[in-house]
């Protein structure tokens, strides 16, 4: 059976390529082919990161963009851009927002979960405008103490100001992806875009 969607799942800070496997199993749709890239930077005290550097030294993302550009090039051999969905959790949500909003290509959807706006100064500048027509679904746990729900609210404001279509849904819970969020992801991919 041919797959209808390619899902690029981006792990959070200190995660790795296997971190998003449970999400793919929870969604469990045979029509989806999953891709699990791994952040290229070492995170402390363990795991991987999509961003290198620090607030003091500045942030490095060039390697992360290269990894996704190369993966996307391979995926586009078998899928149309509107069949490609980006799904990121926590820092992976931040990089989903960053990568998709910086891309000239429109994709099927971008789903940042428990994210916030990186380099807010850059994304709130007047020159940050919509570059593509990718719709965004933002999800965030109401009780998230690690990344406050305000992070996704701020991200939605930036997206809407730039001209992107976005929807923000809060779910019960903390810094996790519960079954209630899985339901919203499935509905968005299959019905609401």
Domain 5-192 has CATH 3.40.50.1820: yes
User: pLDDT by residue (tens digit) across 11-53?
Assistant: 999 999 999 999 999 998 888 999 999 999 999 889 999 999 8
8 Å CB contact between 10 and 37: yes
**Is pLDDT above 80 for 154?**
yes
What is the CB neighbour count within 10 angstroms for residue 154? 17
Residues 107 and 11: their CA atoms lie apart, in Å, by 19
User: pLDDT by residue (tens digit) across 84-127?
Assistant: 999 999 999 999 999 999 999 999 999 999 999 987 777 877 77
pTM exceeding 0.75: yes
**Is pLDDT above 90 for 67?**
yes
Residues 91 and 114: their CA atoms lie apart, in Å, by 8
- Provide the residue ranges of all domains of the chain, joining segments of one domain with +: 5-192
Q: What is the pLDDT of residue 192?
A: 57
Q: What is the pLDDT of residue 162?
A: 93
């Amino acid at each position: 059976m041919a797959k209808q969607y390619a899902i690029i799942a981006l792990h959070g800070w200190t995660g790795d390529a296997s971190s998003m496997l449970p999400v793919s199993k929870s969604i469990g749709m045979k029509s989806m082919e999953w891709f699990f890239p791994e952040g290229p930077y070492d995170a402390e005290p363990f795991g991987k990161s999509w961003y290198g550097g620090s607030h003091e030294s500045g942030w490095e993302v060039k390697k992360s963009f290269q990894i996704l550009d190369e993966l996307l090039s391979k995926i586009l051999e078998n899928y149309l851009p509107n069949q490609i969905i980006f799904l990121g959790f926590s820092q992976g949500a931040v990089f989903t927002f960053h990568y998709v909003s910086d891309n000239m290509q429109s994709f099927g959807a971008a789903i940042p979960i428990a994210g916030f706006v990186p380099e807010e100064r850059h994304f709130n500048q007047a020159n940050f405008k919509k570059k593509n027509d990718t719709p965004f679904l933002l999800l965030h746990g109401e009780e998230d103490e690690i990344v406050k729900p305000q992070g996704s609210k701020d991200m939605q404001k930036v997206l809407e100001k730039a001209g992107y279509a976005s929807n923000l849904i809060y779910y019960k819970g903390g810094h996790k992806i519960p079954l209630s969020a899985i339901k919203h992801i499935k509905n968005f991919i299959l019905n609401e875009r």
